[in-house]
Every structure is written in C-alpha cells, then in structure tokens.
Amino acid sequence: MIKSLIRARLPPIPNIRFSSLASGYAGPQISTRPTRVLPSRRNISNDEMTGKKRKIKDISSNGKPAQIPAAYDFRSDTVTTPTPSMIQSILSIQTHGDDVFSEDTTTNNLESFIAELTGKPASCFVMSGTMGNQLSVRSHLLQPPHSILLDSKSHICNYEAGGAAVLSQAQIIPVTSANGKYLTLEEVQANIVDSDDIHYAPTRLICLENSLNGVIMPVEEMKKISAFAKEKGVKIHLDGARLWNVVAAGGGDLKEIVSLFDSVSLCFSKGLGAPMGSIVVGEKDFMSRVRHFRKMVGGATRQIGIATGPARTAVEEVFLGGRLARTHELAKRLEASWAKHGGTLRFPCDTNMVWLDLGSVGGDEADIPKEAKKAGLKWDWERIVVHHQISDEAIEKIEEVFAKLVENGKTRGGAKAQKKRGPSRYARRDLDED
C-alpha cells in the first residue's frame, strides 16, 4: 500500500542520455516530463503518503537550518552524504528484482550504462572498491605460484587487508617509483618476474592505480606499460577508484584509458558521493568469473537497486554534471594558500588532494586534529581531500588553520626544527594519544 502510494506521488527519474566522452560530452538530454525532487534531508510523513498537504521545513533537531554533514569534513571524499536526487532515485524504483538472478532492472541498467560509458563489453556492480580490486585480481590469476607487480604506494598493496595473499595466493612485488608519483615502463621491466626458474613466482598480473595519492598517471606511460604487458602475456588491471577525477582534470579520455587494461574498477562512493559501491568493467568471459567469485565472498546481493540507483545518479550528477571541476579548483586554491606560507607538498596537486609537507614549515602533524577541531573542521593528518559537498566557509577555515600550523612551527624553530620520530604508520591511533 505504502509503496504504491509513494510511486504515485514520486514518478521515476527522467531518462537521461549522454553522448560518448570520446567525442566530447555534449550534456544531458532530458525529457520534459516534470519530476518531483525531494529537498535535502527531508522526511516523508504519513500525511504526505496519504496525499494530504503538509509543509515540512528542512531543519535540524536544534531548530536551525540543516547542514550537510560533510560540508566541513576534509578527511576523505567518502564522507559525502546522499544528495536529494540520489534519495529520489531510490524512491522512484518501480520494481525490486533479484540481482543474483540478474533480474534487477535498476542494476542491469547501471551495468549497461557503465559498460557503454567506458567502452568495455561488460560490467559488474560490487559493494566496495576493495571487493572490486580483489575480485579482479582473483579472476585474472589461475594456478599459483604467481606474483603481482604494483606500486608500493598503491591501495591494493597497502590497504586491502592482505587480500591478494589470502584470496589469490599471490606474492606481491611492490615497486617504489623513482619519481615519487607513478611507475614507469622501465621500472616495470626491471622488476617483473619473467622466468621459469623454480625459485621465483612468475608475474602474471600488473596492477596500476590512477589517480594515486591524487596524482595523475600520464596516458603515454600507461600505453607503454600496457603494450609491454600484452607482449609478455601478462594481464593488467587498473584501480580506477578515482579515475573520474583524472578524466575531469584533463588526464585523458575515459574510454581510451579503460581500453589499455584488461579490467578496471571504478568507485561510486569516492568522489562521486554515492552511499556505497564500485563497479568492475572488462570482457564478458572475465566478468563471468568476477560474478562467480563475487558470490563466493558474499558479494552477490538481492534487491540491490537501492544502491545502484544512487550510483547511476552520482555518475550523471557529479561526473557528467561537471561537479568534480570545482573540487580540483578548490584544491589548487589550498595549494596556493599553503605555498604563501612557505609550505611545500609531498605530492603534486593534480586533482582533489592536497598533501601538505608539515616539515617544510617546522610543523607537527599532531597539531592538525587539534587546530582543525577548534575551527569546527574534521581533518586529522597531512592529507586534505576536497569533495563536491565541501563548503566555501570550510575552505576559508582550513586556510586559517594553515596559518596556525605555521605559527606553531615557528614557535618550535621553523623548518630547521628536527621532526621527532613518530610511531609506525600502522600503529593504532588510540595508543598514540596522550
């Protein structure tokens, strides 16, 4: 009863068609059929469900206008909350099919949409970026012994709980890039295990990441590594969790980049702001294996349209809608602001990340969460991540925090001060607190 009433009051989102990125984005073509969009953070009352008119103000519990929770949060671009149109996409779902049987229309439409957008034959929705990467790794690798060559800074190497060792029985070959930004062909050639010697685990997979720490990997470098991998018969996967940012920043055409890899994972919750989910794209046979392993690890879900609906909306609204450009502009502003204080960065600011080098001004990373909290911000270490919901006021406040960090550094003796050795980066934070 309630579901039918909601459908009656809330028609489906309009059919939006996008031109290929390869030929240039011409903007969305939207039907003129009116669509009701819910205001931000709004509750649907029983009165509204029964058709009675009732005015509901967008207010928080203290009676003041509600704020987007992520507006002052620089910790990550995963902290964003669903937009009104993402909520609308859930309420507008007409049928809830079972995705295990490939009967969920919303999910099937998303997968077809992303396959067309990226130029790959098939795609598969997964619950997280880690799941997307690990299913791709497992689906590419067959019988051990085998090894994976990747950047020592990469997510697969450091932040996926040793998944490649557990799920794929693979040895990791982490390579530290000489330029400090991305791997080069020469470094891949120098570290790949291309031997039948029984002492070694031959390299069967190369994993790249773009962007990595917000840094864009040049298309030409990816082309050279891709060609080398094909020559050696080695599969190549791209962790493209933030590939949307790369494309939005002018780092290459989406279809061209994706064409260089056997598989690519893309994230909906990082940068784009969807509540959850990632997607893997690749050839149809490969995607069949991904789906098989997805079932094995418990990632095959039932009525998952409540996640895939907002995911598609996120791509249309934030990526194709051009909202990522603002995040890059604000990151550049923060880079310039930090430079005015004499500070330098640990990595280039190519997209939406600003990596401060606190040592360049004699600063102490322990000051960041303290000063940020005083300013009403959430920010806890040298990495700043700008997302599409960050507020202009938050940018001004973090610039004020910059000045305070530099002032504290001068009190300690400036850039010449010796930075004390901290705990391991893997240490529990609660054990490090005073």
First to last CA, the chain: 56
Q: Tell me which of 16 and 90 has the higher pLDDT.
A: 90
Please enumerate in sequence order all residues whose Cβ is within 8 A of that of 17, keeping only pairs 6 or more positions apart, or say none: 28, 29
Please enumerate in sequence order all residues whose Cβ is within 8 A of that of 33, keeping only pairs 6 or more positions apart, or say none: 11, 14
DSSP label of 15: -
pLDDT, tens digit, 9 for 90 and up, residues 33-47: 333 333 333 333 333
Secondary structure of 147-187 in HEC code, one letter for each residue: EEEEECCCHHHHCCCCHHHHHHCCEEEEECCCCCCCCCHHH
DSSP label of 73: B
Domains of the chain: 99-319 (3.40.640.10), 324-432 (3.90.1150.10)
Residue closest to 18 by CA, chosen among 255, 227, 203: 255
User: Does residue 419 carry a pLDDT above 90?
Assistant: no
Q: Tell me which of 271 and 21 has the higher pLDDT.
A: 271
Give dist(CA 365, CA 329) in Å, integer.
Answer: 25
Contact (CB, 8 A) for 20 and 258: no
Strand arrangement of the beta sheet that strand 147-151 belongs to = 122-126, 278-282, 263-267, 235-240, 203-209, 147-151, 171-175
User: Does residue 66 carry a pLDDT above 80?
Assistant: no
Question: With bands split at pLDDT 50, 70 and 90, how would you rate the model's confidence at 374?
Answer: very high
Predicted local confidence at residue 12, as pLDDT? 45
pLDDT, tens digit, 9 for 90 and up, residues 156-178: 999 999 999 999 999 999 999 99
Written as six digits, the tokens of 420 are: 């004390």
User: Does residue 126 carry a pLDDT above 70?
Assistant: yes
Secondary structure element (H or E) that encloses residue 281, with its range: strand 278-282
Predicted local confidence at residue 428, as pLDDT? 54
User: Does residue 407 carry a pLDDT above 50?
Assistant: yes
User: Does residue 51 carry a pLDDT above 50?
Assistant: no
User: Does residue 322 carry a pLDDT above 80?
Assistant: yes
User: Does residue 398 carry a pLDDT above 50?
Assistant: yes
User: Does residue 139 carry a pLDDT above 90?
Assistant: yes
User: Does residue 314 carry a pLDDT above 70?
Assistant: yes
Residue type, 281: V
Give dist(CA 353, CA 350) in Å, integer.
Answer: 8
Planar angle of CA 315, 317, 322, nearest 5 degrees: 95
Give dist(CA 113, CA 331) in Å, integer.
Answer: 30
Q: How far is CA 374 from CA 73, 256, 369, 398, in A?
A: 13, 45, 9, 11
Q: Tell me which of 43 and 346 has the higher pLDDT.
A: 346
pLDDT, tens digit, 9 for 90 and up, residues 241-298: 999 999 999 999 999 999 999 999 999 999 999 999 999 999 999 999 999 999 999 9
Question: With bands split at pLDDT 50, 70 and 90, how would you rate the model's confidence at 422?
Answer: low
Give dist(CA 173, CA 191) in Å, integer.
Answer: 8
The Cα diameter of the chain in Å comes to 76
237 bridge partner residues = 207, 263
Residues 90-109 have a mean pLDDT of 93
Name the residue with tokens 């990467």. Answer: 133
Q: What is the mean pLDDT of the chain?
A: 85
Residue type, 214: G
DSSP label of 22: G
Predicted local confidence at residue 345, as pLDDT? 97
Predicted local confidence at residue 18, as pLDDT? 37
Predicted local confidence at residue 410, as pLDDT? 86
Helix ranges restricted to H, 15-57? 46-49
DSSP label of 77: T
Question: With bands split at pLDDT 50, 70 and 90, how would you rate the model's confidence at 413?
Answer: confident
The structure's pTM equals 0.82
Predicted local confidence at residue 431, as pLDDT? 38
Predicted local confidence at residue 30, as pLDDT? 33
DSSP label of 220: H
User: Does residue 113 carry a pLDDT above 70?
Assistant: yes
Predicted local confidence at residue 315, as pLDDT? 98
